Amino acid sequence: MKSRRILISSILLLGLASVQACTENRLEGKMRELKDTIKISGIYESNFQHRVSLLKEKLRHEEKDSLKADIEYRLFQEYQSYNVDSAKIYASKLMEHDSEIFPKDVMLAWHYSINGEKAQFISIFDSFNPSSIPQKYLSDCYSILASSYLLILPFDNRLREFMSSAIQDPETHNDLKEMFIGTIYRSDGKYEEAKSHFLAAYEADGSPHMNMKARNAFLLAHIYRELDRFDEYEYWLAQSSIHDLQAPVKAYAALLDLSIVELYRQHYKEAYDLIDVFLKDAVESRNMVWINKAIQYEQMIIHAMENVREKSILALSLSSLMLLLMLVTVLSFLRKNTRLNKALAISDREKEEYIHKYMKLSLNYLGSVEKYRHKLRMMLKERGKDAVIAQLRGPSESEAEYTDFYKEFDDTFLKIYPDFVSKVNELLMPEARFEDEHSLNLPLRVMAAIRLGISESKDIATFLNCATSSVYTYRSKMKANALDKKGEFESRIRKIS
């Protein structure tokens, strides 16, 4: 009986492990699909341009007003999430028609929401009369007004009543009904019920535009987030992004949210690649509401990058403190040797001076973090997000910090080993010797690091903020110029006192 229970438990554990593995594989597969979609996004772009070119050509030859309105509306739909300036052109054309042909007030409401004009938008929204809308446009009008509302206002009772009316209207398309029902359930905190309706809306047939699927996939993603199912959250964000790219649209949130997820997972390259795609599309969309949202997200990204910078600076500070500990250890060892102790004559007071130097330097590094944060905030406020992005992508400003650090290091090291350069010169051929015996350059810092017991080139490179290949080159060149050809050059460097 006990064996049977163990067997059943094992089967259950294996089943759970298999489900988890399948989920992970499913997510990895969807992320690969997204990367592939990004690579071929130019194809969808070309298809889009071909599609709108045909519509524009058809519009040029159409004379009947009602049919012209149909084509202009299709062009508006194509451009709505692609380029707001182009969408505004066709919205303006649609507003020129009589209300019996096309509901011009809906276009005006959309225009107000894009410009963030809440009062004007609400005035039209509250006066919306479904009975005055041509039947073929009614469901789309519900969709445009609801999405425009959420673009500038939070979900509230006014929108709830609007959606409830649309749900009861027999002319509303089923996929839109399911989406509205899901939205109401979500606002009530009934996430499982909302999930089933968003999934039904996503799977519904007959949606003429891929961006409707993208929207429902995005809503599903955030339901899974509410349910703390973060793999599913990431999966549906990726699925929504794929649909956005296939549509294609330029103003969207899924890819940006996904980049934030990647940042929180510390997948910095993946996050950067997604952000890069988003930024290019956001600029092309020319939708100020979305650009403002982008700035909010970018501030999150900037803070994340600042945290990485803080950790890097802290790591550098810790490295300097570790070096200090190594120096103190060396000093303690030397003080035990009477002869060397007399030669160097290093007092406890001098050791305290070195400690104070490195403590001050470390605190200066940490203080520079806040200065850098303040600079980014002021730059964002005064010069905009483009200047901040350029700053983050441009050359690092840490060179001055490294210069200060190495100046202190050089001074401290040469106080401990005042004859270091001359003793290195004694090991080198005359033509390779260093002229200035009272300072350290990069090759001599490499030797100093070796003297302190740092033997790996990659560790020396990290300490000296240079390429590993540069360290290797300096070490090879110094060995080639050594008087001793028995390969004992660096071991003699380590014995310099």
Mean pLDDT by 10-residue block, N- to C-terminus, for the chain (497 residues)?
44 43 72 91 89 93 91 89 84 87 90 89 94 90 93 92 95 92 95 94 68 89 91 93 87 82 77 76 68 62 60 51 52 48 47 48 51 63 64 56 70 80 88 87 87 80 78 86 81 84
Quick one: pLDDT at residue 57? 94
Show the tokens assigned to 349: 């007071």
Show the tokens assigned to 453: 């017991």
Instruction: Please tell me the distance from the alpha carbon of residue 393 to that of residue 381, in angstroms, as a whole number.
Output: 18
Whole-model pTM: value is: 0.58
- Within 10 angstroms of residue 86's Cβ, the number of other Cβ atoms is 16
Instruction: Please tell me the distance from the alpha carbon of residue 372 to that of residue 378, in angstroms, as a whole number.
Output: 10
Quick one: pLDDT at residue 400? 58
Region of residue 228 (left: phi > 0; alpha: psi -120 to 50; beta: else): left
Torsions phi, psi of 482, nearest 5?
-75, 150
Quick one: pLDDT at residue 2? 43
Which residue is it, tokens 């899974």? Answer: 224
Quick one: pLDDT at residue 359? 46
- Within 10 angstroms of residue 47's Cβ, the number of other Cβ atoms is 13
Instruction: Please tell me the distance from the alpha carbon of residue 335 to that of residue 347, in angstroms, as a whole number.
Output: 9
Smallest CA-to-CA distance from 281 within 12, 41, 40 is with: 41
Instruction: Please tell me the distance from the alpha carbon of residue 497 to that of residue 494, in angstroms, as a whole number.
Output: 8
Residue type, 368: S
482 beta partners: 428
110 beta partners: none
DSSP symbol at 398: T
Quick one: pLDDT at residue 303? 63
